[in-house]
Structure 1
């Protein structure tokens, strides 16, 4: 069953993150001219990147709701619902009218659907990785849980690849008129495939046993904050390493391709960068997951954060020099290799930090609040280093590295969990919870 759960996690995450990731490419490539006034290109770019970030505003809300659902009613149920909701909202984006057709209503509708996307995706990785981790045999949680992260990268590959032939073969006018809509409309197929995959996976024995032996809390969010509040805070800080992905894929795309920055890399050429980096990531993620079972989660996460943060300077400098080959090589090394040491490991690590009864909630809240912070960084980066700035690599590279350092410190301050069974982790957390409750009553 653990192999079936891993396959379901991989395929489900691939499909859902395809839906979520195509928005990032569209926000950098076409949304500034499609959904916003064309008078000021800088304002249009900032506004478009802000709508990308808006999707992360809804993610903490989705984490509360869907995490609660996953801890009370099971991991499988929340995954099916999240996938259906994501497919609907993404398909609807492909049907939206443009700014020239309906004016301000166009970006309003775009923001509303992006909020629904963010709400839906908040339950995906937390539920999928919990399903896999709880099915996985002892000593192999890192390896099997990494498949859910492998799926997110595969989804990003499909999302970027969906735009490559359209932007390369269609005239610019056709691509901006209707070509960009095609990847969004394909979400109808995603919904069908994802539903068929998810409905066949069994609920985890660990969850069923926990529900049988202990009363499932009516509000897991209250329990997880009371018992694991400090853990949530550290996990949020650890999640700041996701700045590597937004620096590379979102701000990097805008910096390289938007005319206002003057770099003028071809969008079709530049779209190959995340594809190549993610292909390398898909290959390496299971290896890093397996390695984390042997040497621990913390060493990989700390080294991955710091090394990829340092390399962001060189990556942005290569873009500024219009060196496509060097940009591609550095992107693959920074994003496809070094960052994946962290990315392949954090899901199993976060799952092990929380007990079964609040596992999905704790993971979802930690991950999505961290992502909310990171999601606004491309917009902040654009304001800090707007078009015309001469020191973009130094400014944005410095901010990226600073956040990576904070993440590494938070990881260093957290206990290693790879050698412990879920039962042992649950027992330890119950003891902590009983001690905290007794102390509260005494006080």
Structure 2
């Protein structure tokens, strides 16, 4: 048996150019990979925003605000438990029947679950069934996203030209900041139009909390229809087509990837770890910290004001994604990520100095400029580390187990680095202060640095390489 990368000392083969079929314009490949991930991340962020600002008041009971937020974060984490399962299910079909059909199934799974969340009755209507159904639909969101990312990354990398794979692979990564802007921008506009500030100030009977929050979930159906239209017009990738023509498909991709590429799964998981920890500290947890009551360890910034800060900072996230792809093609995946992850470690060590309430202020006295600088640095690092991941993880695996292998790595990392991150961060901040949250990020960065140091450079691997069937 063989694998495209077998360990730190492997000598990769030079990848041949893979010209696009004349029937498949490059713009269509870009659109298919970008639109799908934008929709998927929009759906995911809509939930993340609601999990902080809406669900604690509507789906959970009790007087303790921190306890309700933790319960809401627990449902948020359910999707990350589902994502590795989704990567196995969709990875099986992606490696067996093709990338195109599998991506359509992943998009439908995510889209239907998101739409149904917008129709859910609250705890005050159906009692305990409300958080239970919310958790089930959140789980289904995770299944869809678990199959989406690796498929979109494969569309980009398996169509890419020689020497430009990371720059091509950055397109699906742009779906993350674009989805964030759409989701949070939608919530910002709604709160402005409906005059909503916070539950504490206006109560749970405000129109935004009775029906307004549902609109972003229901509106996702329009985006799903657009995504389906683009993907139905797409053709299968030339790399997968060649594997089919040569009879190189494996009967059980899951068994094959663990038999031939178990080391790459471990490497990919920990290479992605710090990215995930940073990602969900800068999106889900930071929102709860920024708008949280000062007596509960938060900064007390009005919800709308904080959303504006996040939306400004996420522009740097989007801008750095193509820079990340260029750096990875120019200097190599491993070298560029070692430098960026070191910067993430230093950023984590600075949390206490920059964002402690005693120094940044709270409520009307908070330094908004200082908070914006913190968010901007975090989002800049996020774009730099995230942009090339859609090249790095697929390059670790052979063609006929690539969908399954890259999906498992990406989504197991989501459990270790994202599922519990907002929950742990809320707990650490409440009991030990914001500096402890930064140490948590620094620890994740150390683990990623070790994984990168022990992993090979994958810039020049042959994307047509396959594992020997058994």
TM-score calculated relative to the size of structure 2: 0.87
d(CA) in 1 for partners of 2:356 and 2:184?
Answer: 19
Matched, 1:340 2:391: no
Cα displacement string for residues 202-254 of structure 1 (whole angstroms, at most 9, x for unaligned residues): 10111011012124112101100111101101111112111001111111111
Cα displacement string for residues 127-171 of structure 1 (whole angstroms, at most 9, x for unaligned residues): 011011111111111001101101222111111111112223324
Q: Work out which of the residue numbers 119, 128, 142 in structure 2 matches 1:95.
A: 119
Question: Counting helix residues as a fraction of each chain, which structure ranks higher?
Answer: 1
d(CA) in 1 for partners of 2:310 and 2:403?
Answer: 29
Q: Secondary structure at the match of 1:131?
A: helix
Aligned residues between the structures: 425
The residue that corresponds to 1:273 in the other structure is 309
The residue that corresponds to 1:308 in the other structure is 344
- Structure 1: runs of 5 or more not aligned: 438-443
Segments ≥4 residues shifted beyond 6 Å: none
Matched, 1:114 2:138: yes
Matched, 1:231 2:272: no
From the superposition, tell whether residues 262 and 156 of structure 1 become closer, same or farther in structure 2 (CA, over 3 Å).
Answer: closer
The residue that corresponds to 2:175 in the other structure is 151
**Is 1:311–1:330's contact at 8 Å kept on the other side of the alignment?**
no
- Structure 2: runs of 5 or more not aligned: 1-24, 197-205, 361-365
Which deviates further from its counterpart, 274-283 or 198-207?
274-283
- Within-5 A mapping of 1:280-359: 280-315=316-351, 317-318=354-355, 320=357, 321=360, 322-335=366-379, 337-359=380-402
Q: Work out which of the residue numbers 251, 256, 268 in structure 2 matches 1:218.
A: 251
Q: Considering Cα pairs closer than 8 Å and 6+ residues apart, tell me whether 1 or 2 has the greater RCO.
A: 2
d(CA) in 2 for partners of 1:315 and 1:381?
Answer: 12
d(CA) in 1 for partners of 2:255 and 2:190?
Answer: 47
- Within-5 A mapping of 1:42-441: 42-172=66-196, 173-241=206-274, 242-259=276-293, 260-315=296-351, 317-318=354-355, 320=357, 321=360, 322-335=366-379, 337-374=380-417, 375-386=419-430, 389=431, 391-423=432-464, 426=465, 430=467
From the superposition, tell whether residues 364 and 185 of structure 1 become closer, same or farther in structure 2 (CA, over 3 Å).
Answer: same
TM-score calculated relative to the size of structure 1: 0.92
**Is 2:325–2:387's contact at 8 Å kept on the other side of the alignment?**
yes
Cα displacement string for residues 94-119 of structure 1 (whole angstroms, at most 9, x for unaligned residues): 11111111111110010010000000
Q: Secondary structure at the match of 1:264?
A: coil
Q: Secondary structure at the match of 1:415?
A: coil
Deviation at 1:413, TM superposition (A): 1.0
**Is 1:315–1:327's contact at 8 Å kept on the other side of the alignment?**
no
Deviation at 1:314, TM superposition (A): 3.8
The residue that corresponds to 2:3 in the other structure is none
Cα displacement string for residues 290-334 of structure 1 (whole angstroms, at most 9, x for unaligned residues): 221111011222222221232235456436223221111221122
d(CA) in 2 for partners of 1:129 and 1:2?
Answer: 15
d(CA) in 2 for partners of 1:364 and 1:297?
Answer: 19
